[in-house]
Amino acid sequence: MTISVTPNPNGFGAAIRDVNLSNGLTAEDIADIRGAWLDHQVVFFPDQPLEHDQLEAFTNAFGDFGNDPYVKAIDGYSNILEVRREPDEAVAPFGGSWHSDWSFQETPPAATILHAKIIPPVGGDTLYADGIAAYENLSESMRGELENLQAVHSARRPYSHEGYKASGGPDRSMTILPNDDAWATQLHPIIRTHPESGRKALWVNPVYTLNVHGMSEVESARLLDELFKHALSDEFLYAHKWQNNMLTMWDNRSVQHCAQGGYDGHRRVLHRTTLAGDQPV
């Protein structure tokens, strides 16, 4: 039996069924899942109970683990992070601002994988933004203006010692590991070419993108504000509804995301891995 893929109406996001991830994947399964992931950018697998070893095996079926700094991993599993929020936690959800995971790295993750362990009965959606559609809906003149521009990315806002305190890090149930390394910067193209599909994406995000390289502070802020507003237009968004034991994988090379709240008084727990990527071009 081959996997079944049910895309969302606009093609951004798709459900994958008729595969048991706990049993391991055949070469055909891997090729089919990778194809669906490249086509739809966000893919999700309902009703997939997984142990830690099985989550790691699923990740490694598609490549090597990514490098995940600044958050303490699960004991005994250095490549699995636990995204947890307790019922009485007063701070905003982890990942609650728009971002592309670890875009401050020289080679950010190709994919982020989340497996749902405890999902509250209300709230807790994840919003995804389609960077390919955002690029394709830019005017020709704007595409030309952006084509050779680079942006400065950094982890300083959430993960420097100052950012950690300002964002309520000490009050989280998750163990955040702030570090002075978060002040480092990395240049990446504003328009990124996908290394597998060849499609172009608008690739800036409000958390890690600080400014446009070579522009004045005023010019940079104006342009980034315009690009953020465009990239996060309703027409490019998908609101993902979680279920217990659902696994979701998205293409970090063209998608940004934002965790939603709305579940105060309830516990929410997911386990996360990343897939190693390449240098954006």
What pLDDT tens digit does each residue of the chain (281 aa) get? 589 999 999 999 999 999 999 999 999 999 999 999 999 999 999 999 999 999 999 999 999 999 999 999 999 999 999 999 999 999 999 999 999 999 999 999 999 999 999 999 999 999 999 999 999 999 999 999 999 999 999 999 999 999 999 999 999 999 999 999 999 999 999 999 999 999 999 999 999 999 999 999 999 999 999 999 999 999 999 999 999 999 999 999 999 999 999 999 999 999 999 999 999 99
Q: For each of the domains in the chain, give its residue range(s) and CATH number, in order of start.
A: 4-275 (3.60.130.10)
Q: Name the active-site residue from 40, 172, 194, 257.
A: 257
Query: Could you give the 3-state DSSP secondary structure of residue 134?
Result: helix
Q: Is 115 annotated as catalytic? A: no
Q: Name the active-site residue from 99, 115, 153, 253.
A: 99
Q: Name the active-site residue from 68, 101, 130, 251.
A: 101
Strand arrangement, sheet containing 209-212: 185-189, 150-154, 209-212
Nearest to residue 109, comparing CAs of 177, 59, 156, 184? 59
The residue count for the chain: 281
Q: Is 99 annotated as catalytic? A: yes
Nearest to residue 42, comparing CAs of 262, 237, 273? 237
Q: Which residues contact 85 (CB under 8 A, 6 or more apart)?
A: 93, 94, 172, 173, 174, 263, 267, 268, 269
Main-chain dihedrals φ then ψ at residue 230, nearest 5 degrees: -65, -50
User: Taking the CA of residue 185 as centre, how many other CA atoms within 13 Å lie in the half-sphere pointing to its CB?
Assistant: 9
Instruction: Say what the pTM is.
Output: 0.97
Radius of gyration of the CA atoms of the chain, in A: 18
76: left (phi over 0), alpha (psi -120 to 50) or beta: left
